[in-house]
Structure 1
Amino acid sequence: MGCSGGTTCIDLAARLLCPKTGYALVAVTESNGINWYSGNDRNMLVPNCIFRVGSAAVLLTSDPVKRDSAKMEILRTLRTHHGTDDSAYKAGYQMEDADGNLGVALSKDLIRVAAVGIKRHVSLLAPKVLPIYEIVSFFFANSLLILTNFKGIRI
């Protein structure tokens, strides 16, 4: 389970712990050993450098007695999914090259797809976490730009 699987598991564990007291251990590893690419395609060699061996673990609890000793508290979780967009689905894709070597290919659309995903995620998350003053300030600043017809400026 890679990095995106970790956020999904933390969300799932938090939801499972809501109705009753308990513990959940979420361990995330990112091992590229099974997807190590040994060919010559540059798009498929990059993941060998980026996705090496990394891991993280978190212990979640809903026990009210442990509340004071907790380092963090999950207030809300939000997941957005862009798998229905073909360019997002193919941004990082496991495939075979021309020689039949199996590996993960990263497309040139990866940065654009990531930017769209982050923008969508922040637009859904911001109203839930920002104070009302920041939301009103953003609304007025954006309205001012629209009314004064600044075409090249974006907030």
Structure 2
Amino acid sequence: MSRPRPIYLIDFATYKPADELKVSKAEFIELARKSGKFDEESLAFQARLLAKSGIGDESYMPRCVFQPDANCATMKEGRAEASAAMFAALDELFDKCRVRPKDVGVLVVNCSLFNPTPSLSAMIVNHYKMRGNILSYNLGGMGCSAGVISIDLARDMLQASGAGLAVVVSTEAVSFTWYAGKRRSMLIPNAFQEEDEQRIKGLSISRDLVEVGGHALKTNITTLGPLVLPFSEQLLFFAGVLFRHLYPSKTSTPPPPAANGDTSAAAPYIPDFKRAFEHFCMHAASRDVLEHLQRNLGLRDADLEASRAALHRFGNTSSSSIWYELAYLEAKGRVRRGDRVWQLAFGSGFKCNSAVWRAVRRVRRPSRSPWLDCVDQYPARMDA
């Protein structure tokens, strides 16, 4: 068999909303109160969540979700929100790459919560008048890891079709599934969708998520490790597993914790991924999630700086968060030729997916970036 053709990331663009959509944590609670959609107990719970979330005071929200007596979960509002983000990012991308939309042979769009008919991918094809034989795909309901899955699909289609250029659009629309009920597990946004006792549609997060996520992470890094780690780290990993299997009673000190927090004698050795990557883009789900990742993977504060900055400045942007993090690293001028980047994301199902990139040329500081007006204030700004 012939070797697969190499696939390259030419460039990417991230959407920065208008300033009038900025909402501080205090303003969020006040707008929610004025909307009349929440009782005081629900408001107090949301305030406590925000205080511990790691989100700063300059994130964004669609204003329609706070309009009194208004139903924001409409196709019109969902399309308007998705269009604003997708078309702004694509306009910038096509301009930066000097590519015409008609030159694109593969289009992959992922959005978990808003999946209209015609699809988001069809909206893009029609808006930019792309060619009629474009290979167009729309992924929905796959959670925050769908961006990595979309990259994998685009790569496979380029390999199979020889289409030349592919565009991947990772986005999310929150207004269409905005929850205005009282159940606490559904007041935590961007988890799993269902209906509460009053048949109000929303997103629910389970107490089993941390354990399930830990197992998914362990499976992911066990698969990824042999592909990226130096041979010495691979030997330590497999030797540790073999030793604990053959001589569990001779383990004199507790082994490093597994990705799911297991500290038993059979827990696998977690390799030092700092020897495989210079940069880490971990999905910015919440402060607690990032702290668990840092502790269980043995990473430094500097390794999670981009993730924490993206969470603080833009909030949990779902599948696009790993791109806001890469944009942060580029805006800081940290990505050099030969550097390796690990993008790790989690999604519903439960899924855990990784993408690995190597910079094949010098990456200059971008002239356009959502970070240009604030990057010099980080990481100190996160402690303010």
Matching residue of 1:135: 234
Query: For the residues of structure 2 that align with 1:133 and 1:12, how far apart are their CA atoms?
Result: 32
1:8 and 2:149 equivalent? Answer: yes
1:118 and 2:259 equivalent? Answer: no
Deviations 1:125-150 (A, max 9, x none): 11122222211122234444453532
Deviations 1:66-91 (A, max 9, x none): xxxxxxxxxxxxxxxxxxxxxxxxxx
Which structure 2 segments of 5+ residues have no match?
1-110, 113-143, 256-266, 270-384
Matching residue of 1:103: 202
Matching residue of 2:183: 41
Q: Shift in Å at residue 33 of structure 1?
A: 1.1
Matching residue of 1:150: 251
Which structure shows the higher strand fraction? 1
Matched position secondary structure for 2:188: helix
Q: Shift in Å at residue 21 of structure 1?
A: 5.1
Matching residue of 1:59: none
AA at the equivalent of 2:220: H
AA at the equivalent of 2:236: S
Matched position secondary structure for 1:30: coil
Matching residue of 1:62: none
AA at the equivalent of 2:239: F
Query: For the residues of structure 1 that align with 2:225 and 2:155, how far apart are their CA atoms?
Result: 21
Q: 1:29 aligns with which of 162, 171, 176?
A: 171
How does 1:35-114 map onto structure 2 within 5 Å? 35-47=177-189, 51=190, 92-114=191-213
TM-score when normalising by structure 1:
0.63
Matched position secondary structure for 1:46: coil
Deviations 1:34-61 (A, max 9, x none): 11100010000011xxx4xxxxxxxxxx
Deviations 1:87-127 (A, max 9, x none): xxxxx432111111100110101111111111011111111
Matched position secondary structure for 2:237: helix
Identical amino acids, percent of aligned pairs: 33
AA at the equivalent of 2:237: F
Query: For the residues of structure 1 that align with 2:220 and 2:179, how far apart are their CA atoms?
Result: 32
TM-score when normalising by structure 2:
0.27
Over the aligned positions, Cα root-mean-square deviation in angstroms equals: 2.1
Query: For the residues of structure 2 that align with 1:149 and 1:110, how far apart are their CA atoms?
Result: 33
Change (3 A) 1:140 1:5: closer
Query: For the residues of structure 1 that align with 2:165 and 2:225, how far apart are their CA atoms?
Result: 29
AA at the equivalent of 1:29: T
Higher relative contact order (CA 8 A, sep 6+): 1
Matching residue of 2:8: none
Matching residue of 1:68: none
AA at the equivalent of 2:149: T
Aligned length: 112
Matched position secondary structure for 1:117: helix
